[in-house]
Structure 1
Amino acid sequence: MTRRLLVIGHDYLETAGSIEGRFAERGYAIESVRVVPADRIDDPGVDFDFPDPREYDAVLVLGARWSSYSDTVASWVKPETELLRSADEAGVPVFGICFGGQMLAQAHGGSVAASPVPEIGPSVVAGVPAVAGVWTQWHSDRFTPPHDATVVGANGAAPQAFVLRRNLAVQFHPEVDADNVQGWLDDGGVEDARSRGFDPDVVIEHVRSLDADIPARAAALVDYFLDEVATS
């Protein structure tokens, strides 16, 4: 039987890119939901009925432009937190990216807070082979992993990846390429980057230099999740 992957997106600019592509190559049928529609970006406190994670073989949780602890998104962060806990209790593997990784931390006893060192653009991560290397980042929050998690990636700015049972959380964006980041820049990211001391022109050119390697590196990360984390 075909395995099913639930992809949870939070706003219209988030895409699963090469990560989703590798799941498809590994035999997963992709089913996607989007929490906040484009016309509610400025008022994201929507009510959303999440699917039952127990009906899927894995869950992929993508990034978002909001903080997981913000009251403006509490209406759907709370039920999404319950989804993550239900998946964990049922042994359904969950892969969380950036906001998704922060949600995993928050759901399982860790925490999320504003980072004193925001990361925008590529940065180096040390860790297990599938995690180590240069990854594109865009976050001003960071997670503190749950006490019983194993940190498998980090740098000087923040913990970058952890494993907890069948959950993998990463702080970086393995799924995006330069076109995705350009979309972020065009949607207010230029001002955000500059306000945090980053040159958007330098950021996009640095990201573009990584594009050729993204599919292979994303595939290796998905393989690590499926072959090592999801089977633990």
Structure 2
Amino acid sequence: MAPKVLFLVNEHLATEGLLGEAFVDQGFDVELFEVVPAERIDDPAVDVAFPDPAGYDVIAPLGARWPVYDEALRRTWVSTEAQLVRDAADAGVALLGVCFGGQLLAQAFGGSVARSSEPEIGWYEVTSDRPDLIPGGPWFQWHFDRWTVPPGATEIARTPCASQAFVLGRALALQFHPEVDTELLERWLADDRDGEVAGIGRTHDELRSRTTELAQSASARVRDLVAGFVTHVVRQPCPSS
């Protein structure tokens, strides 16, 4: 039986993209679970009944436009999702958090998340202490918040502005967006209603051009990232075994 990864699609525009393809390459069956439906995007404080994490080998919370510390969300699905990842960790299920999902892992396991002094949108060089897990080079960013790593976690990648990855047991949290390809970027740019890209002095065309330029190398690095995650995190024995 093939291993299974469950992507938690916290909002409809933050899909699995290249990550889904990379997990398929590793022999995984991919399942998706929608958290906040598109029609609730402007009113996202919904109650959600999540699947049982024990039915999966990997659970991957993905990105979202909202702060993970928003009080209305913490009273509803964010607290439920945080409990889900804690239950998953207790059951030996591996975790891969992406941007909002990485911040959720930080918050769920005792770290903190707050507004960053400098947002990151676009392609940024990421310094990695573990190239077997986080290949070096530029990774795509779109975030306004940053975490402090939870107790017991090890930060393994960073930019000058923010921590970019940490490992805690069988969990890997990422601040950047490895899933982004040209198609997913276009969906995000079309939704840039508040001018977030222009707000940091960049243009949509700049992001398009750089994403097209890096498409082939980025896809290869995503495959390497997922292969490293499977080898060094998913297939490691549980601490209690």
Q: TM-score normalised to the size of structure 2? A: 0.92
Question: In the TM superposition, what are the counterparts of 1:176-195 in structure 2 within 5 Å?
Answer: 176-188=180-192, 191-195=195-199
Distance 1:102 1:54 in 2: 22
Q: Compare 40-49 and 65-74 and name the one that shifted more.
A: 65-74
Aligned length: 232
For the 8 Å contact 1:18–1:214, the answer to whether it is kept is: no
Indicate the residue corresponding to 2:214 in structure 1.
210
Partner of 2:191, secondary structure, is helix
Indicate the residue corresponding to 1:33 in structure 2.
33
Q: Give the aligned residue type for 2:13.
A: L
Indicate the residue corresponding to 1:102 in structure 2.
103
Distance 2:137 2:193 in 1: 24
Indicate the residue corresponding to 2:225 in structure 1.
221
Q: Give the aligned residue type for 2:116.
A: S
Partner of 1:65, secondary structure, is coil
Q: Give the aligned residue type for 2:19.
A: I
Indicate the residue corresponding to 2:239 in structure 1.
none
For the 8 Å contact 2:57–2:234, the answer to whether it is kept is: no
For the 8 Å contact 2:109–2:151, the answer to whether it is kept is: no
How big is the shift at 1:85?
0.4
Question: In the TM superposition, what are the counterparts of 1:1-232 in structure 2 within 5 Å?
Answer: 1-74=1-74, 75-127=76-128, 128-129=130-131, 130-131=133-134, 132-188=136-192, 191-232=195-236
Partner of 2:192, secondary structure, is helix
Distance 1:99 1:203 in 2: 20
How big is the shift at 1:81?
0.3
Distance 1:181 1:189 in 2: 14
Distance 1:116 1:19 in 2: 29
Q: Compare 111-120 and 212-221 and name the one that shifted more.
A: 212-221
Q: Compare 181-190 and 40-49 and name the one that shifted more.
A: 181-190
How big is the shift at 1:170?
0.6
Unaligned regions of 5+ residues in structure 1, if any?
Answer: none
Unaligned regions of 5+ residues in structure 2, if any?
Answer: 237-241
Partner of 1:20, secondary structure, is helix
Q: Give the aligned residue type for 1:191.
A: G
How big is the shift at 1:120?
0.2
Partner of 2:51, secondary structure, is coil
Kindly provide the CA deviation profile for residues 27-55 of structure 1, in whole angstroms up to 9, marking residues without a partner as x. 21111111111111011111110011111
Kindly provide the CA deviation profile for residues 74-105 of structure 1, in whole angstroms up to 9, marking residues without a partner as x. 21001000001001111110001101100010
Partner of 1:10, secondary structure, is strand
Distance 1:99 1:18 in 2: 17
For the 8 Å contact 1:5–1:30, the answer to whether it is kept is: yes
For the 8 Å contact 2:57–2:93, the answer to whether it is kept is: yes
Q: Which runs of 4+ in 1 moved over 6 A?
A: none
What is the RMSD computed on CA atoms of the aligned residues? 1.3
For the 8 Å contact 1:121–1:204, the answer to whether it is kept is: no
How big is the shift at 1:201?
2.2
Share of identical aligned residues, percent? Answer: 44
How big is the shift at 1:190?
6.6
Taking a change above 3 Å as real, the CA distance of residues 58 and 181 of structure 1, as seen in their structure-2 partners, is same
For the 8 Å contact 1:175–1:214, the answer to whether it is kept is: no
